[in-house]
Amino acid sequence: MQFLIILGIVFLLFVIWKYWTLALGAGYDPTPTKCICRMLELAEINEDDIVYDMGSGDGRILIAAARLYGARAVGIEADPSRFIYSWLNILVSGQVKRARVKFGNLFKKNISDATIVTLFLFGPTNNKLKDKLLRELKPGTRVVSYIWTFEGWEMQGYLPENRLYLYVIK
């Protein structure tokens, strides 16, 4: 009986750890590795870009943007354990000069220097984020979303096999 109680507590703690950030915009569900380069390619990334990953999780998109494309990359992460993990991943990857992660709520961080924004959030979160993106991003900034679209925005690119959507701020 004690084993079942302990198992139940462990399961509950795991669910809380994985999904508590849903209250801020998305639970933890990393973008598949195969989609990361496709996202960046869809955005036509180059070394002059500044990539912001909203809800950057473990930092894989940041590291890929820096290592593979020479871009600068900034992640925003609200979960303290994922923030630390992401920071350590960046450190170990050797990309500390080109990639960094900021701790905090993505709705409250300034992203005005971004030229590319990547996100894998939640449908309603994308739509809540629209005003911030339109207010802070310069015309021409590319926004790539995995799985979730932006209601009322016209797509500029789409990779159906990966469920990736490209938007350009006007």
Domain residue limits at 79: 2-168
pTM of the predicted model as reported, rounded to 2 decimal places: 0.85
Any bridge partners for residue 164, and if so which? 146, 159
**Least confident among 18-22, 64-68, 129-133:** 18-22
Q: Compute the C-alpha angle 19/57/143, nearest 5°.
A: 105
Domains contained in the chain, number: 1
Domain of residue 84, CATH code: 3.40.50.150
> What Å distances lie between residue 137 and 131, 157, 169, CA to CA?
10, 19, 7
Q: What confidence tens digit (pLDDT) does each residue in 24-81 have? A: 555 667 899 999 999 999 999 999 999 999 999 999 999 999 999 999 999 999 988 8
DSSP code at position 85: H
Instruction: Report d(CA 97, CA 71) in Å as an integer.
Output: 10
Any bridge partners for residue 77, and if so which? 103
